[in-house]
Amino acid sequence: MHLKVIIGNLAENQAKVFYKPALDLRFKFIIGAVREKQCISYIIPHDSGKAPNPWWNNLTLGVCKPVIRRTAEENDLIVGLSFRGQRLVYVMYVAEILTFGEYFHDPRFYLKKPNFVSNDSRRWMGDNFYEPTGKAYIQHVSPHHVQNRTQIELQRLMDIDLSGLNVLVASLFWYFGDFGPELPEELSFLRIRRGHRLSGERGMLAVERYVKVLLGNPGIHGMPKLFNETAQKLKHLHGQKQAKA
């Protein structure tokens, strides 16, 4: 069972939405053998800079896609595709898997905490906004708080996010955003309509050949497609204080 309590309002520094999971444990499959490395592909329906968040030295996937975040392992390759799978949005190697508590308190990821005082709207898209408090969590004001979104909708998003249990971190990544290359025919096996697709080590090797040989240097090569649109929807929060560290 989940215990959920909602208090406060969106005009405050913290939305104060609390969530208590039945099990606050990092989920792992135990099958008696080490599984092969996976190539995991999925469609990104709304690429705003929140999920994934490509800035401040590491690409992170801390919200949305809960099944991927629960089941991915270190050294897996994750590929995000544009609508209908026509273009690459990003490719990441999973270097670290953190709990929400580890992520929130790690000083390396301070800049990924949403900061609506900043005039740099990239800071508004931070995905580091779940603070553990005992056995529950506070959802700080975040890019989830677009204008006119209700507390019920925020709670639903919180349930989805926290059900993923983990935050995936990559220091080696290629992020293209709205300027991604068309998916070549040799990688057409990555396409999927819903959920995600596992392509195993063979798929991983094919993607590696493509990104390392043809795409050149890793890092950020474009901006999220919906970045400006989402920033407009968050403008009502501009000037609010940053969530406490």
Q: Which residues pair with 5 in a beta bridge?
A: 18
- Give a yes or no: residue 158 inside a domain: yes
Q: Record the tokens describing residue 189, joined without a space.
A: 């096996």
pLDDT, mean of residues 26-34? 42
Judged against a pLDDT cut of 70, whether residue 171 lies above it is answered with yes
Task: Write down the pLDDT at residue 25.
Answer: 37
What share of the chain has pLDDT > 70, as a percent? 82
Cβ proximity of 223 and 57 under 8 Å:
no
- The structure tokens 């993607």 sit at 207
**pLDDT confidence band for 215 (50 / 70 / 90):** low
Q: Record the tokens describing residue 130, joined without a space.
A: 């779940």
For the chain, how many structural domains are there in total?
A: 1
**pLDDT confidence band for 56 (50 / 70 / 90):** very high
- Give a yes or no: residue 233 inside a domain: yes
Task: Write down the pLDDT at residue 1.
Answer: 32
**Tens-place pLDDT, residues 100-154:** 999 999 999 999 999 999 999 999 999 999 999 988 999 999 999 987 889 999 9
- Rounded to an integer, what distance in angstroms lies between the CA atom of residue 177 and that of residue 191? 17
Judged against a pLDDT cut of 90, whether residue 201 lies above it is answered with no
Of residues 35 and 86, the one with the higher pLDDT is 86
Of residues 2 and 179, the one with the higher pLDDT is 179
- Give a yes or no: residue 242 inside a domain: no
**CA-CA-CA-CA torsion sign (63, 68, 72, 75):** negative
- Give a yes or no: residue 243 inside a domain: no
- Give a yes or no: residue 245 inside a domain: no
- Residue numbers of the domain that contains 205: 3-237
- Give a yes or no: residue 244 inside a domain: no
The neighbour count for residue 243, using CB atoms within 10 Å, is 23
Q: Which residues pair with 14 in a beta bridge?
A: 140
- Rounded to an integer, what distance in angstroms lies between the CA atom of residue 187 and that of residue 87? 11
Judged against a pLDDT cut of 80, whether residue 30 lies above it is answered with no
Q: Identify which of 166, 131, 161, 132 has the alpha carbon closest to the alpha carbon of residue 144.
A: 161
The pTM (predicted TM-score) of the whole model is: 0.83
**pLDDT confidence band for 9 (50 / 70 / 90):** very low
Of residues 3 and 222, the one with the higher pLDDT is 222
Judged against a pLDDT cut of 70, whether residue 31 lies above it is answered with no
Task: Write down the pLDDT at residue 15.
Answer: 44
Cβ proximity of 212 and 105 under 8 Å:
no
Of residues 71 and 14, the one with the higher pLDDT is 71
**pLDDT confidence band for 195 (50 / 70 / 90):** low
Of residues 121 and 191, the one with the higher pLDDT is 121
Q: Record the tokens describing residue 118, joined without a space.
A: 């900043």
Contacts of 29 (CB under 8 A, 6+ apart): 35, 71
**pLDDT confidence band for 14 (50 / 70 / 90):** very low
